[in-house]
Chains A and B, each alone.
Chain A
Amino acid sequence: MSVKIKVISRNPEDYLRATKRDIHKLQRNYDPSLHPLEGPREYVRALNAVKLERVFAKPFIGSLDGHSDGVSSLAKHPSRLAVLASGAFDGEIRLWDLASRKCTRHFVAHEGWVRAISYTPEGQQFISVGDDKTIKTWKSEIIDEDDEDPLNTLLSMSVVSGISHHRSKPIFATCGEHCQLWENTRSEPIKVFKWGVDSLHHVAFNQVETNLLASCASDRSVILYDFRESGPLRKVVMELRSNALSWNPMEAFIFTVANEDYNLYTFDVRKLKQPVNVHMDHTSAVIDVDYSPTGREFVSGSYDKTVRIFESLKGHSRDVYHTKRMQRLTCVKWSLDNKYILTGSDEMNIRIWKAKASEKLGVLKPRERTALNYAEALKEKFSAHPQVKRIARHRHVPKHIHNAQKEIKTIREKNKRKEANRRAHSKAGSVPFVPERKRHVVKEDE
């Protein structure tokens, strides 16, 4: 009788590391019968991942202090991540090195406010406008003493309250009483756009469709211009005035405005009659807005002392940043590497935040990367589970915000109830359902 026998017999050398400096051998077998209870285990992992995300959510990196009055405006350098220019209410401009968090240069540029600053496309110069009706061009880097003086000073006939530079041409737009287009070399505006007797307080060039620019006016309207044409294109009138405007850097036809009525509105240029989306959550007027370079998200700063981050397709914010000492926000910027958020506020500080609150700064090792990717996938997979959802959504907000949120909720409910009552007691169809998106736009003019 011949017998063939094979029995499991493992040589330990194949499974143990040879020396202490070696890494441990890790044999894997993906047979599902060796990995029971896959569902519940993944659920627990997802729950842990979402808890850890909240534990590590420490978005505040640091503050830049030095201004002796509230920060009125910020400007990003177009090609250097570490450079930031800021202007204050006392007319001072400061340049910062973000890497070392130090001020590299400071000087008084204007009498009264510095209304806005804008870098030229190459980043060699920046232009500032102030309450003293001047538009000054400055050199970014000082080599000799003469460089400290402005390169060029333009005198405007009327007040100037905003500036925005063209993506590539040496053309910039300012706003005030009218929207004016300037060329670097000329002392007179090359073009003036007028529509009514309003005053404009914010202007922004589209960085993709570079001929387009938009401005916010004090008569509650947002006006679109094409700088090749002689007059403005269109305007949309809202219920309350818009404070700031930001173009989506990825979708040229989309822009978002920060409005006084606590909301932000995303518009499509092709159809201004109703916004694409209404972004709610702020509890006071929204002062400034800036898109991330990916175009997927934007940041907004509000008079309620909080910074909120919205996903551009969603109606509610994904995160809210606040500190005890931060006062009313005046300006926000999203850094061009999509990692940081810079905010300037009333109480003289510029703050640096992480764009993703729980992100680890610095280099990630491959295993860390895969672990984070796995956690991300799990969070997404179980995101609809009530426990996971609750933890992921929970944010602590200051008491005044909490109370304001409650108040706004009550008001909204009251209005809803009133409308429902009115609808119930009047002729069918006489009180129509008006969608939220249509409520806030008064009219569109051509």
Chain B
Amino acid sequence: MKKKESVRYFDIEENKDDQPKETNQEVKVYKIKPTARLLKANKFKNNKNSTQKRKPTEKEKKFPGKAPINPAKLENYSRGEGFEGKGVKHPLYALKLKKKENKHKYAQKQASRADILLTEDQGFLEVDEDNRTTGITQKVIVDNVDITAATKAFELNLDFGPYQAKYSRNGRHLLLGSNKGHLAAFDWITKKLHFEINVMESIHDISWLHVETMVAAAQKEWLYIYDNTGTEIHCIKRMDKILRMEFLPYHFLLAAVNEFGFMTWLDISIGEIVGHYNNHMGRTPVMTQNPYNATICLGNSRGVVSLWSPNVKKPLAKILCHKTPLTAISVDNRGMYMATSGVDRSLKIWDIRNLDGPLQHYKLRTAPVDLEFSQKEMLAVGLGNIVEVYNNCCSQTAERPYLRHNMGKSMKNFKFCPYEDILGIGTSHGFTSIIVPGSGEPNFDALESNPFQTKKQRKEAEVKALLEKIPAELITLNPNEIMEIDVPSAKDKMEAKKNLLYVKPKKVDFTPRQKKKGKTNIARKKIIKEASRKEFINQVIEAKKILNEPQKENKPKQSFGVLDRFVPQPKSKK
């Protein structure tokens, strides 16, 4: 039996119980007075052991307790790894952090348990194993869904040239704007028209603002804002010749880029421009926002995608995505994937958080007109007259599209309708909406965006949203930076010390030492060369010695007998 080096009082008692009598002789006996404290500690230890043994199995329990949680769902609500209990200076702080961590875990569990309350299920489209979903036409889908869903697939034939379409944030309202000046907004589910006007100018881009009572239209010269009766309420001349624009709902910023590469962020709640500068990227006709961190992604004709915030006049990041001009960019809702396409007919999926090499690289038949991620990470790709929708194309390579729809007319742009299984396409002859089962989020959060919002709720939500307007200064690549701990650098610490009274800080040179990693300087090279040369010479000498010595031995010495002592000796070196 393994002998323990240190024996403690409780070990002895245990040994007595467990071991048979013959080994008892080896046990050391300590004379310990059983004080109350010792007994209590021992009792506690025994109790602890015994309760572990007595613990009933899950089946034995009458009431099994809370239902187990699906670990995948739990992972969805995770806040990261959390505190592991190491590297804390004082145990008190460790305890505090541990308690906090327990709260986080509890919140995570509760959030994932609340999933049970979600009422709707995600849509889907399933066929036999030998068939493919790609072949299913809109007609088949419309015939097989219920009436209310079937009415959501419709087509509008309009006369004023290529149309752009955008859905409001709650997916209830649709805004159409044509190149020839036709601007219309309506509740597309009840088909109730809000307004329809012709601005008698070309419209380059359109956007909903924070509520459905205001829309922005980038016209030939300036940016205009209309209300839901079609009345012009603002003409913003400081923003001219706008090419593309995006509305950042949590910051109340209307971001726009114009013909000459000037980027502008307009705070629509106070009417002030918070950022205005030239991006020096040339004409950038491709623009999208990253909903995860509210940065703007621009694509230019050199194939470079750049990320912008109003605070920095240089791009936060630049990626060379294609060697040809870009045609479209799209970023998914969680800010993980970015899809880009170029005129080289390729489609690439990137991990936008580390921007390291494309995750997927697809070759398409033609160059895509537009790309769009849905809420459930389906990717719509517009190829000439055809829209293809890919499912699961980011983390793995998709073999074939999930759905394909041929419209017979060219398209301008398309958008997935939030909280609906609908893809709305602005075409050269109007607007088409098609059903894409499983593309939308089935359960909305009424405090974020509510499709069934009443007027009063909308007003309330507007006030709440304005109160929580995020300042433009907080637009960064990592939006959670503000929740992280600000660790001061050594330089900052020294600066802080300088401000302290009567403390003399040490003088530290913060310029980094120039270590030439991988490079050896010439002097060093010379030394190495010299050393190797010397070594070589030594070796040669040694070799020569070895070669010479036997020669000397071989040489027969002439003997003179007794008179040898007069033969001259070779001088020994001193």
User: A residues near B, CB below 8 A?
Assistant: 1-10, 12, 14-16, 24-45, 48, 385, 413, 416-417, 420
B502–A14 contact, CB under 8 A? Answer: no
Taking the complex as formed, is B521 at the interface, i.e. its CB lies under 8 A from any CB of chain A? no
Chain B residues positioned under 8 Å from A416 (CB to CB): 501-502
Kindly state the separation between the CA atoms of A420 and B144 in the bound complex, as whole angstroms. Answer: 88
Interface stretch, picked from B35-43, B214-222, B438-446, is B438-446
Chosen A-B contacts, 5 in total, with CB atoms closer than 8 Å, are A5-B126, A26-B446, A28-B445, A33-B334, A36-B333
Interface size class of B (residues with CB under 8 A): 35 or more
A381 to chain B: closest residue by CB: B483
A9–B149 contact, CB under 8 A? Answer: yes
B471–A33 contact, CB under 8 A? Answer: no
B123–A6 contact, CB under 8 A? Answer: yes
Taking the complex as formed, is B146 at the interface, i.e. its CB lies under 8 A from any CB of chain A? yes
Taking the complex as formed, is B5 at the interface, i.e. its CB lies under 8 A from any CB of chain A? no
Chain B residues positioned under 8 Å from A30 (CB to CB): 77, 111, 114-115, 445
Within 8 A of A (CB), among B88-126: 111, 114-115, 117-126
A41 to chain B, nearest CB (A): 6
Contact of B144 among A5, A16, A36, A43 (CB under 8 A): A5
Kindly state the separation between the CA atoms of A28 and B120 in the bound complex, as whole angstroms. Answer: 12
B77–A10 contact, CB under 8 A? Answer: no
Kindly state the separation between the CA atoms of A38 and B481 in the bound complex, as whole angstroms. Answer: 11
Contact of B482 among A12, A43, A417 (CB under 8 A): A43
CB within 8 Å for A5 and B446 given contacts A27-B119, A43-B474, A43-B482: no
Chain B residues positioned under 8 Å from A42 (CB to CB): 483
- How many A-B contacts are there with CB distance less than 8 Å? 146
B444–A8 contact, CB under 8 A? Answer: no
Taking the complex as formed, is B372 at the interface, i.e. its CB lies under 8 A from any CB of chain A? no
A36–B250 contact, CB under 8 A? Answer: yes
B435 to chain A: closest residue by CB: A7
Taking the complex as formed, is B356 at the interface, i.e. its CB lies under 8 A from any CB of chain A? no
Chain B residues positioned under 8 Å from A39 (CB to CB): 479-483
Contact of B126 among A4, A38, A40, A417 (CB under 8 A): A4
Chain B residues positioned under 8 Å from A420 (CB to CB): 501-502
B443–A27 contact, CB under 8 A? Answer: yes
A5–B128 contact, CB under 8 A? Answer: no
Chain B residues positioned under 8 Å from A417 (CB to CB): 501-502
Interface stretch, picked from B275-283, B388-396, B447-455, B508-516, is B447-455
B292 to chain A: closest residue by CB: A36
Taking the complex as formed, is B406 at the interface, i.e. its CB lies under 8 A from any CB of chain A? no
Other CB < 8 Å A-B pairs besides A2-B127, A33-B333, 4 of them?
A3-B127, A7-B437, A12-B452, A27-B445
A1–B481 contact, CB under 8 A? Answer: no
Chain A residues positioned under 8 Å from B446 (CB to CB): 25-28
Taking the complex as formed, is B358 at the interface, i.e. its CB lies under 8 A from any CB of chain A? no
A17 to chain B: closest residue by CB: B454
Kindly state the separation between the CA atoms of A416 and B480 in the bound complex, as whole angstroms. Answer: 42
Taking the complex as formed, is B355 at the interface, i.e. its CB lies under 8 A from any CB of chain A? no
B75 to chain A, nearest CB (A): 11
Interface stretch, picked from B26-34, B158-166, B462-470, B522-530, is B462-470
CB within 8 Å for A7 and B454 given contacts A28-B445, A34-B441, A41-B468: no
Chain A residues positioned under 8 Å from B443 (CB to CB): 27, 29, 31
B122 to chain A, nearest CB (A): 8
Kindly state the separation between the CA atoms of A28 and B119 in the bound complex, as whole angstroms. Answer: 10
A31–B76 contact, CB under 8 A? Answer: yes
A7–B471 contact, CB under 8 A? Answer: no
Kindly state the separation between the CA atoms of A42 and B474 in the bound complex, as whole angstroms. Answer: 12
Contact of B421 among A2, A8, A37, A413 (CB under 8 A): A8
Kindly state the separation between the CA atoms of A413 and B501 in the bound complex, as whole angstroms. Answer: 8
Taking the complex as formed, is B145 at the interface, i.e. its CB lies under 8 A from any CB of chain A? yes
Chain A residues positioned under 8 Å from B140 (CB to CB): 3
Taking the complex as formed, is B414 at the interface, i.e. its CB lies under 8 A from any CB of chain A? no
Taking the complex as formed, is B291 at the interface, i.e. its CB lies under 8 A from any CB of chain A? yes
Taking the complex as formed, is B520 at the interface, i.e. its CB lies under 8 A from any CB of chain A? no
Chain B residues positioned under 8 Å from A2 (CB to CB): 127-128
A26–B447 contact, CB under 8 A? Answer: yes
A40–B474 contact, CB under 8 A? Answer: yes
Taking the complex as formed, is B432 at the interface, i.e. its CB lies under 8 A from any CB of chain A? no
A3–B136 contact, CB under 8 A? Answer: yes
Chain A residues positioned under 8 Å from B144 (CB to CB): 3, 5
Kindly state the separation between the CA atoms of A46 and B520 in the bound complex, as whole angstroms. Answer: 55
CB within 8 Å for A10 and B124 given contacts A37-B294, A39-B481, A43-B482: no
B480–A38 contact, CB under 8 A? Answer: yes
B454 to chain A: closest residue by CB: A24
Chain B residues positioned under 8 Å from A26 (CB to CB): 446-447
Taking the complex as formed, is B354 at the interface, i.e. its CB lies under 8 A from any CB of chain A? no
A48–B435 contact, CB under 8 A? Answer: no
Give a binary string over B300-337; 1 marks a CB under 8 Å from any A CB, 0 the rest: 00000000000000000000000000000000011100
B442–A8 contact, CB under 8 A? Answer: yes
Chain A residues positioned under 8 Å from B441 (CB to CB): 29, 31, 34
Kindly state the separation between the CA atoms of A24 and B119 in the bound complex, as whole angstroms. Answer: 16
B238 to chain A, nearest CB (A): 26
Chain B residues positioned under 8 Å from A9 (CB to CB): 145-146, 148-149
Kindly state the separation between the CA atoms of A120 and B374 in the bound complex, as whole angstroms. Answer: 75
B121–A6 contact, CB under 8 A? Answer: yes
B455 to chain A, nearest CB (A): 12
Chain B residues positioned under 8 Å from A32 (CB to CB): 76-77
Kindly state the separation between the CA atoms of A420 and B359 in the bound complex, as whole angstroms. Answer: 63
B421–A7 contact, CB under 8 A? Answer: yes
Taking the complex as formed, is B141 at the interface, i.e. its CB lies under 8 A from any CB of chain A? yes
Kindly state the separation between the CA atoms of A30 and B110 in the bound complex, as whole angstroms. Answer: 10
CB within 8 Å for A5 and B420 given contacts A40-B470, A41-B468: no
A30 to chain B: closest residue by CB: B111
Kindly state the separation between the CA atoms of A42 and B468 in the bound complex, as whole angstroms. Answer: 8
CB within 8 Å for A14 and B114 given contacts A32-B76, A417-B502: no
Kindly state the separation between the CA atoms of A170 and B420 in the bound complex, as whole angstroms. Answer: 78
Kindly state the separation between the CA atoms of A77 and B77 in the bound complex, as whole angstroms. Answer: 53
Taking the complex as formed, is B134 at the interface, i.e. its CB lies under 8 A from any CB of chain A? no
B452–A16 contact, CB under 8 A? Answer: yes
A8–B76 contact, CB under 8 A? Answer: no
B502–A44 contact, CB under 8 A? Answer: no
Chain B residues positioned under 8 Å from A31 (CB to CB): 76, 441, 443, 445
